[in-house]
Structure formats: structure tokens, C-alpha cells
């Protein structure tokens, strides 16, 4: 047997194999994080988070599971970042302290956003961030990395051309091809072609737009569509987008100035991002344009553009507060125009729909992505994805960034471009992809992958048990039984009290409750008189076990069960 085939899953490989490990971002949209490992040395690409789907039970973010990196801190060469969107940088404050705070490499804009956000975490060690730029190569261990400019919907978006001992690897970052972008240069096809001609062993390409036919819209076209809305709006314009969607924010400001509107920005992260982009000259505003929210009542309606987050239906964002009339400075009225200027991230559809309905109900004019292409996904559609594969003509191909269906579609596109099926890997989070000069294969083992939840205003991890409790509470309710025990006789006094919420309607469940009380009394009396000394925790657990089984048998539900024993 060939020695190379028998390597141990967790020990560093000595042979000439490059391992690619997507920790997250495959089979989902958001929280992108990928590892490249060569002879035990690890390069990280991106550390993103995502928002939870519906039914998130107090969870703000979901971040990648980095268990695989535990104990390997000193082998981490650094982390390189494609761009400043939160699905690529958002998990930094949660991950950095756990992996030994390695050096981060990011464009000046992404660096600005990373450092600004870090101010919310004053107790953490200072981040070390090195600036990287288009075409400026640098080396980390065995990897020679050349960032290259890619169009998207935020400036300074970088793909990576990585020279490795097994061959050249290209990571596209999020991208679209744009001949008339905003804040950016048009796509440089000649340069991409030159890169492809250097020989690309392995291409990893953004799949977010893989199910969309044709070509994505240019930022210029989106600008024109937005302008149409500005032309028609008679009252206030309320435009919502991602806080990091800097191109869109810039467009909204520019149009406001053109149509003599003042701009009010709500939301700390959006304000911060605008400030950083202004410093780097990606957003230009005239002196008088930006005003504070308390100016709203003093201005005529047609002079107001209100810019905020919440286009994904996020519960705590300003747009939701406006819909539920909880926002102090702006009460919706007939004649207002609402713009949802970002595509809906999978999983958020229901929230966004409910929000839209509410705005229609209150008489606003609503524009969203199905009606007009104002969201312009910053992600290339099928024609662009095909073109990227054609330009790189890689030996091996792996679709990244996207729901599983998108990855599969993208792999089909690659086959259409002549990449043989056996040279394409449709991987999922935690898969270990082994890459050699002439071979690519998945290991049977996967690395440990879970979803780490961040709750309470994004400050702390939520334990899995806590989340499961919340889910159980929501699904099956809670059942508390309180027994008073005479400390002289160790027998239950009287009949235990029952408090139940969201489980069964107490008045209609007399028999069930009678039986529950009986079983509780029997269990306590039996156990308290058969052991010495008495272990009350043990008895409580026994009551819990017994009742849980009984209640499930009778109701097929598993409420949170809390037996309480009080000695008097």
C-alpha cells in the first residue's frame, strides 16, 4: 500500500499534500471560513458570521466551529481576508482570542472595518492587522499569496492567487464581473487571463449566484434603477441595506444630494462604516448632506432620505422598529417610500415578507428586489461563473460560498466548461480535501463541525444546552412540580403544587395531573426512606426521569421539567 494513503487524520502530514478544510460557508450563505494546511502549517481565509434563521431563540449570530484549530495555535501562519463584509470578518472577535491572536491580513478598508468593530470588545488583546493590496505579493510559510482586485458591492474586494508547493490555487472571493462599477475599476479580464495562463491547479469560486441565469447587473444599472425611485418619490425615502454594503450607501447619498435631500443614517455599524469609507474616500458627501435624526420633524418630507439597516427583517434593526411604530424619530405615513436594497439571505424570507406586508398595510410605497433590480446581488450569475472557470481553466474545481443547491449547480457549470466530473469536489463544512499535483480526494473523516451561537447583543457564546432549553420551551413548554417534604419523616406533605406554561391546559388535564402528583409522591417517599444519607439531588433527578417518561407517554411532548423539593 502506498504510504501517502495511510496518513492519520489529525497528525500533520509530512507528504506533499495540501489540505483544504472549509470550516463553514459551504452549504449555507454566510460565515465563511476556510483553512489551507501544508505539512501542519495553517493559513486561514476569512472568519465570517451569519444571522440565524427564523426561530433563533435569542441568538444573534452563528459563527464557525474552530475546534480543529485547538492545540494548533502556533502552527497558524495568519489569516487573510477577502473583503469587509461581515460574512467574511464578523467572527474575528470571537475566534481571535481562541487561536492565539495570529496576524490578520486585510485591505485598508477591510482593516478599518475590522478595527472599528473591535472597539466593541475593549477587553481583548489588540489585533495585529497588516494591510494588503491588489497585485502586491507576500509570503506566509509555504504560501506565496498575490491578492487580485475583484468587483463586488464593496470596494477593495480581493481574490487570492496562492502559489503552493503542490500548485497554484485561486480563491475568487465573492465576485461579479462589472464593466461599469461604482467606486471601483472595471474588471481587468486581461489580468485574470494572465493568471489563468500561469496554470491553475485548483479553483475555488463563489457560488452565491450560481442559480441565476445570465449576467448580474452592473452597479451603474442599479444606480439608474434607484434614481427612478428617487425621481418618483414625493415624500420621505426610507432606504435599508446592509451596514457594510458601501456601494449602495454611496449611491443613496449621491442620489439624495442630486435630488436635494438630506440624509439621516441610523445604526451604529452603518455610521461607523460610512466614516471609515469617507476617510478612504470611497464615500463622498457634501458638508450639509448628513443630518441627525432629530432634524426629521423640521424638514419637509421630500427633503428626507433615511438610511438604515434591517432589510433582512432582523428583529432589533431600525426598519423593524419603524414597522412596529417603536422608532422615536420617524413615524410612517402615507406617501413614504421604502426601499429594500439588498437581496434576501436564504432563511430570512418569512421575516422580510412580514415586514413588507406591514409597510403596505401602513400605506407606504414599497420597492424590493423582485420588482426592480435594486439589490444587484454583488455575486456573478451563471455567465460570469462560467467565464471565470474559462479564464482560470483549472485542473481541479470546488464551488464555495453558498447553499448546497448552489454548489451543485456551480459544479454543473464547471463540467459544461470542460472540467471533468472526477476533478470537481462538492464539499461540505468540515470535509477534508486532499490536494496533490495530480489528484484530489476527500478524506473519509471530517473535522468536528458545529454551530457556535452568539447571543445577548453579540457579546457571548450561548451554550448548546441553553439553546436546546429555549427550543424545548418554545415547542413543549415548561412543567414545574413542587413537593414539600417533612424533614422529620422524610415524607411528602400534602399534595405537590404544579405550575405549567405552554404544555397542557391544567383545567382540562385533571387525570394527568393527579397521576403526576401520585408518581412524584411515591418516588420521593420510596427513595428518601431507602437510602442514608439522603441525596436530594439524586431523588430530584429520579423524579424528573420518571415524570419525563410518563408525560411523554401520555402527551408525546417533552416539556422542560423542573422538580422542586422543599424541606420543612
Residue in this structure with the C-alpha cell 451543485, named with its chain if needed: 408
Residue 192: CB atoms within 10 A of its CB come to 23
Q: Quick check: bond before 499 cis, omega within 30?
A: no
Q: Is 46 in the site for Zn ion (CB under 5 A)?
A: no
Kindly tell me which of 207 and 417 has the beta carbon lying closer to Zn ion.
Answer: 207
Pick the stretch among 84-92, 192-200, 228-236, 464-472 that binds Zn ion (CB under 5 A): 84-92
What is the phi/psi pair of residue 161, to 5°? -100, 115
Kindly tell me which of 173 and 382 has the beta carbon lying closer to Zn ion.
Answer: 173
Kindly tell me which of 207 and 516 has the beta carbon lying closer to Zn ion.
Answer: 207
Minimum distance, C-beta of residue 32 to Zn ion, in the bound complex (Å): 6
Q: Is 111 in the site for Zn ion (CB under 5 A)?
A: no
Minimum distance, C-beta of residue 211 to Zn ion, in the bound complex (Å): 16
Catalytic, out of 206, 266, 272, 431? 206
The rounded distance, in Å, linking the Cα atoms of 429 and 398 is 13
Q: Is 87 in the site for Zn ion (CB under 5 A)?
A: yes
- Comparing CA positions, the residue from 389, 383, 470 lying closest to residue 59 is 470
Minimum distance, C-beta of residue 242 to Zn ion, in the bound complex (Å): 9
Kindly tell me which of 249 and 524 has the beta carbon lying closer to Zn ion.
Answer: 249
Minimum distance, C-beta of residue 360 to Zn ion, in the bound complex (Å): 30
**Angle at the Cα of 430 from the Cα atoms of 426 and 431, rounded to 5 degrees:** 45
Q: Is 178 in the site for Zn ion (CB under 5 A)?
A: no
Minimum distance, C-beta of residue 31 to Zn ion, in the bound complex (Å): 9
Kindly tell me which of 84 and 563 has the beta carbon lying closer to Zn ion.
Answer: 84
In Å, how far are 9, 484, 499, 517, 536 from 492, measured between CA atoms?
Answer: 56, 6, 18, 11, 13
Q: Is 171 in the site for Zn ion (CB under 5 A)?
A: no
Q: Is 28 in the site for Zn ion (CB under 5 A)?
A: no
CB-CB contact of 185 with 197 (8 Å): no
Minimum distance, C-beta of residue 526 to Zn ion, in the bound complex (Å): 59
Kindly tell me which of 174 and 219 has the beta carbon lying closer to Zn ion.
Answer: 174
Among 72, 85, 117, 149, binds Zn ion (CB under 5 A): 85
What is the phi/psi pair of residue 425, to 5°? -115, 120
The rounded distance, in Å, linking the Cα atoms of 38 and 18 is 5
Q: Is 174 in the site for Zn ion (CB under 5 A)?
A: yes
How would you class 92 by CB atoms within 10 Å of its CB: exposed for 0-12, middle for 13-18, buried for 19 or more?
buried
**Helix (H, G, I), strand (E, B), or coil: what is residue 524?**
helix
Pick the stretch among 168-176, 187-195, 404-412, 488-496 that binds Zn ion (CB under 5 A): 168-176
Pick the stretch among 38-46, 166-174, 292-300, 483-491 that binds Zn ion (CB under 5 A): 166-174
Is 206 an active-site residue?
Answer: yes
Half-sphere exposure of 566 (CA within 13 A, CB side): 10
- Comparing CA positions, the residue from 231, 211, 304 lying closest to residue 263 is 304
Footprint of Zn ion (CB under 5 A): 85, 87, 174
Residues annotated as catalytic are 206, 379
Amino acid at each position: 500500500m502506498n504510504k501517502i494513503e495511510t496518513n492519520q487524520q489529525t497528525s500533520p502530514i509530512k507528504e506533499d499534500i495540501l489540505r483544504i478544510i472549509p470550516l463553514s460557508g459551504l452549504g449555507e450563505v454566510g460565515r465563511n471560513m476556510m483553512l489551507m494546511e501544508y505539512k501542519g502549517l495553517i493559513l486561514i481565509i476569512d472568519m465570517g458570521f451569519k444571522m440565524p434563521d427564523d426561530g433563533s431563540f435569542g441568538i444573534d449570530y452563528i459563527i464557525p466551529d474552530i475546534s480543529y484549530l485547538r492545540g494548533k495555535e502556533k502552527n497558524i501562519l495568519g489569516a487573510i481576508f477577502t473583503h469587509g463584509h461581515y460574512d467574511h470578518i464578523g467572527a474575528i472577535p470571537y475566534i481571535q482570542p481562541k487561536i492565539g491572536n495570529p496576524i490578520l491580513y486585510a485591505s485598508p478598508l477591510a482593516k478599518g472595518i475590522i478595527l472599528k468593530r473591535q472597539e466593541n470588545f475593549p477587553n481583548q488583546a489588540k489585533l495585529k492587522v497588516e494591510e494588503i493590496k491588489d497585485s502586491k505579493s507576500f509570503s506566509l510559510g509555504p504560501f506565496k499569496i498575490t491578492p487580485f482586485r475583484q468587483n463586488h458591492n464593496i470596494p477593495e474586494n480581493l481574490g487570492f492567487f496562492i502559489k503552493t508547493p503542490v500548485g497554484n490555487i485561486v480563491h475568487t472571493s465573492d465576485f461579479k464581473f462589472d464593466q461599469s462599477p461604482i467606486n471601483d475599476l472595471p474588471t481587468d479580464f486581461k489580468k485574470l487571463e494572465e493568471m489563468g495562463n500561469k496554470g491553475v491547479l485548483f479553483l475555488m469560486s463563489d457560488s452565491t449566484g450560481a442559480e441565476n441565469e445570465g449576467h448580474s447587473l452592473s452597479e451603474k444599472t442599479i444606480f439608474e434603477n434607484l434614481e427612478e425611485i428617487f425621481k418618483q418619490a414625493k415624500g420621505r425615502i426610507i432606504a435599508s441595506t446592509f451596514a457594510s454594503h458601501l456601494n449602495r450607501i454611496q449611491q443613496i447619498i449621491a442620489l439624495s444630494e442630486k435630488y436635494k435631500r438630506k440624509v439621516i443614517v441610523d445604526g451604529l455599524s452603518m455610521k461607523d462604516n460610512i466614516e471609515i469609507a469617507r476617510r478612504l474616500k470611497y464615500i463622498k458627501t457634501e458638508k450639509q448632506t448628513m443630518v441627525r435624526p432629530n432634524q426629521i420633524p423640521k424638514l419637509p418630507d421630500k427633503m428626507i432620505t433615511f438610511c438604515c439597516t434591517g432589510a433582512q427583517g432582523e428583529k432589533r434593526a431600525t426598519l423593524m422598529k419603524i414597522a412596529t411604530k417603536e422608532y422615536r424619530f420617524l413615524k410612517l405615513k402615507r406617501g413614504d417610500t421604502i426601499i429594500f436594497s439588498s437581496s434576501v439571505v436564504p432563511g430570512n424570507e418569512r421575516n422580510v415578507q412580514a415586514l413588507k406586508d406591514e409597510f403596505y398595510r401602513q400605506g407606504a410605497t414599497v420597492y424590493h428586489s423582485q420588482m426592480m433590480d435594486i439589490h444587484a446581488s454583488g455575486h456573478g450569475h451563471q455567465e460570469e461563473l462560467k467565464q471565470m472557470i474559462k479564464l482560470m481553466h483549472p485542473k481541479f474545481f470546488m464551488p464555495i460560498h453558498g447553499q448546497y443547491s448552489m454548489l451543485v449547480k456551480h459544479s454543473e457549470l464547471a463540467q459544461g466548461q470542460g472540467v471533468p466530473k472526477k476533478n470537481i469536489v462538492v464539499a461540505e463544512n468540515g470535509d477534508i480535501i486532499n490536494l496533490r499535483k495530480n489528484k484530489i480526494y476527500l478524506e473519509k473523516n471530517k473535522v468536528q463541525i458545529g454551530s457556535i451561537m452568539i447571543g445577548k447583543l453579540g457579546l457571548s457564546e450561548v451554550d448548546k444546552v441553553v439553546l436546546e432549553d429555549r427550543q424545548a420551551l418554545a415547542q413543549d413548554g415548561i412543567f414545574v412540580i413542587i413537593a414539600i417534604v417533612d424533614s422529620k419523616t422524610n415524607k411528602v406533605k400534602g399534595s405537590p403544587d404544579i405550575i405549567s406554561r405552554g404544555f397542557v391546559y391544567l383545567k382540562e388535564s385533571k387525570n394527568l395531573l393527579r397521576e403526576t402528583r401520585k408518581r412524584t409522591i411515591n418516588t420521593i417517599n420510596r427513595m428518601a426512606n431507602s437510602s442514608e444519607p439522603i441525596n436530594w439531588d439524586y431523588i430530584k433527578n429520579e423524579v424528573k426521569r420518571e415524570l419525563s417518561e410518563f408525560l411523554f407517554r401520555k402527551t408525546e411532548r417533552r416539556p422542560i421539567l423542573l422538580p422542586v423539593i422543599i424541606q420543612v
